[in-house]
Amino acid sequence: MKVQTLKEFGEKRFIQELFKLRKANHLYDRRNQDWFENLIVNWDDAKFKEWFFLVDGDAIAAFATIQEYYPNCYRMLTRSYIYRYYRRFTNPKEDKFFSPTMRLLARQMDYIKGYDTLFVSMQDLSRRPALERYGKKLEYRTDLEWNMAPDMMLTALPPYKSECWQSVIYTGKKPKLSEMTIDEWKERYVR
């Protein structure tokens, strides 16, 4: 497997993939179903620094981009999508497997030359333990300290949608994003 940038992968090929994904049965992609419609029209938005593609021969295993939130603060692995064949549906507590997102993140970190903050986020409070385990794996792979933000952070708009408040792990300085305590999040969104 190798990681390619958009230029290496090809813009036309990426757009074709987005159209295929939009039409696909979203049985295992309910959380991302609306992404593809949106990405078809804004994949080249300036907020996305670079797209990265994990390819396995001629097959695409995964893709993700980097989003700059403010100068020197980057959300890594944003818009991550792992093709079903390459997904793992269990995430063991002690995991040293070099997953698709680990491969993408390694190349993304090489791409970002200087930063104050790098962060990775996951929506839904139920995924917080998985993100915490991912942070431990990042420490093992990157030799950097990754911290879990104690509160939910606003990573997208609009602020009234639960999925816009996410759990965040970061290295470097804590992201300067709006925060909501987990108790507040539960009170507002858990029914």
User: At residue 30, what are phi and psi to the nearest 5 degrees?
Assistant: -55, -40
Give a yes or no: residue 171 inside a domain.
Answer: no
Spatial CA neighbour of 142 closest among 167, 108, 165: 108
Give a yes or no: residue 88 inside a domain.
Answer: yes
Other beta carbons less than 10 A from residue 77's beta carbon = 23
Q: How many domains does the chain have?
A: 1
Confidence (pTM) = 0.89
Give a yes or no: residue 43 inside a domain.
Answer: yes
Domain that holds residue 98: 2-115
Give a yes or no: residue 63 inside a domain.
Answer: yes
Question: pLDDT means per 10 residues in the chain (191 residues)?
Answer: 96 92 67 69 90 96 96 96 78 65 95 96 92 91 95 95 96 98 95 80
Return all residues near 6 (Cβ < 8 A) that are at least 6 apart: 14, 50, 51, 52, 53
- Rounded to whole angstroms, how far apart are CA atoms 134 and 180? 22
Give a yes or no: residue 132 inside a domain.
Answer: no
- Rounded to whole angstroms, how far apart are CA atoms 31 and 41? 19
